[in-house]
A = this chain, B = another copy of it.
């Protein structure tokens, strides 16, 4: 890759400013209030792909937010890389915990990012990481070094479960035909320790509603005599874990992949310092399934977490009320072989059956997806590994992630190709949290590394 470092140095400020403009648009797909902003972001992506050198760019309508598709086909006989990313972002709340407005990006230096990091919702997840691919393409087209065909598929509903992407993929198998899928929507261990994500967890996300009396009641007059939906909900949620922090849903662990002692020993070699981990989170102790290490708990083991709970009076002061309804949002991270639809069904059946008389329970599955494992002997993995070596000077460590990109399993099924997860974010980048950020180093290193992937992928495919 001739001149890539020089090109980045030359255009660095423009790259960052373009990303900042993109981050200013609050493309929150979960909240209908932001509909116009999400659509505006799709148009901005369309424009940027054209400028980067795509021959054909389309805004593809779906039943939800559109998918931006772009391509540059240089030779039908050459391999094709399909880049997937998303232009929507997580909601920004709790907004009061942001040190600067989430959609007014600023660059600040941090201990982890001495060269500065861009603070904004979506900086890392996924606008910043997705935009690295746009700028890498710009370099390759501008310098005439694009070694193969490239296709972009950038969606706007990843944060709400990619509701319409599946249909789009099924209906456009020919258009999306490719030899490898490239995604930057994960992280790496550290800026000096590159890693490639080789496994993703699946996801089942449900919302539950517990209804007691048909109206809010005075807790003095009715307290102790009727089932209080909040008390019942806490009891039902608490019973989802046993004393070893194992999930109690019948059948939940039936298909969980069991790793061998050797595999676990191999995993345990990844650099990890428990004290640093606890200090970074300001917690006295870690917590989780008995018999597993922290790194195992958040990668090879399935989990169940409440993501939100609400009911009754939550304002200032005191209100002596028994609420009519209580709610929770609950998600389960799944490991390979667990089927998310089966798990959602198991949850629904178990949760509904665990309700006492006196309340009604409704379980609404939100969305989900299967887990995924990238084979390390695939051409794509090897190409990615060599690309990191070229720019970081180190062989990246293969790593299972606790996160989920539900659509990856579907890609393999429908498009019959492997996905390579080249993530450049760090765990400390606070994605999904207040003060999300993305290191300037990481952004630029991503732009530098991606063209090498193209180069090696074409070479190794021969």
Produce 1/0 per residue, A345-364, CB < 8 A to B.
00000000000111100000
Interface residues on A, range: 35 or more
Tell whether A14 is near chain B: CB-to-CB under 8 Å.
Answer: no
Residue numbers in B under 8 Å from A201 (CB-CB) = 220
Known: A221-B403, A238-B239, A308-B314. A331 touches B320 (CB 8 A): yes
Instruction: Establish whether residues A310 and B307, one from each chain, have CB atoms under 8 Å apart when the complex forms.
Output: no
State whether the Cβ of A460 lies closer than 8 Å to any Cβ in chain B: no
Judge whether A317 is part of the interface by a CB distance below 8 angstroms.
yes
Indicate which residue in B287, B321, B357 contacts A287 across the interface (CB closer than 8 Å). B357
B308 and A311 contacting across the interface, CB-CB below 8 Å: yes
How far, in angstroms, from A222 to B231 measured CA to CA in the complex? Answer: 27
Contact of A336 with B by CB under 8 A = no
Bound CA–CA A286/B306 (angstroms): 28
**Neighbouring B residues of A358 by C-beta, 8 Å:** 283-287
Residues of B within 8 A of A327 (CB): 314
A281 and B30 contacting across the interface, CB-CB below 8 Å: no
Distance from A14 Cβ to chain B, minimum over Cβ atoms (Å) = 30
- Compute how far the CA of A297 lies from the CA of B219 in the bound complex, rounded to whole angstroms: 12
Residue among B220, B283, B434 making CB contact with A213, cutoff 8 Å = B283
Give the complex CA separation of A303 and B207 in angstroms: 29
A110 within 8 A of partner (CB): no
A412: B residues at CB distance < 8 A: none
On whether the beta carbons of B214 and A306 are closer than 8 Å, the reply is no
Check A291 for interface membership: any CB of B closer than 8 A.
no
Partner of A314, one of B226, B283, B310: B310
A160: min CB distance to chain B, Å: 5
* Cross-chain contact of A357 among B284, B298, B322 (Cβ < 8 A): B284
Whether the pair A433, B308 counts as a contact (CB closer than 8 A) is: no
The answer to whether A297 and B225 touch across the interface, beta carbons within 8 angstroms, is yes
Flag if B223 contacts A305 (CB, 8 Å).
Answer: yes
Contacts of A228 in B (CB 8 A): 305-306
Chain A residues close to B by CB (< 8 Å): 29-32, 90-91, 93-94, 97, 159-161, 187, 201, 203, 205, 207, 212-228, 230-231, 233-235, 237-239, 241, 281-289, 294-295, 297-298, 301-323, 326-329, 331, 333, 356-359, 366-367, 401-404, 427, 430-435
8 extra interchain contacts, Cβ-Cβ under 8 A, other than A30-B315, A227-B287, A310-B314? A29-B317, A94-B216, A201-B220, A223-B298, A224-B301, A283-B358, A306-B311, A320-B404
The 6 closest A-B pairs by CB, nearest first: A224-B303, A220-B403, A30-B317, A285-B357, A308-B312, A238-B238
> Could you jot down 9 A-B contacts, CB within 8 Å?
A213-B283, A223-B298, A226-B283, A234-B235, A234-B306, A237-B238, A307-B323, A319-B329, A320-B331
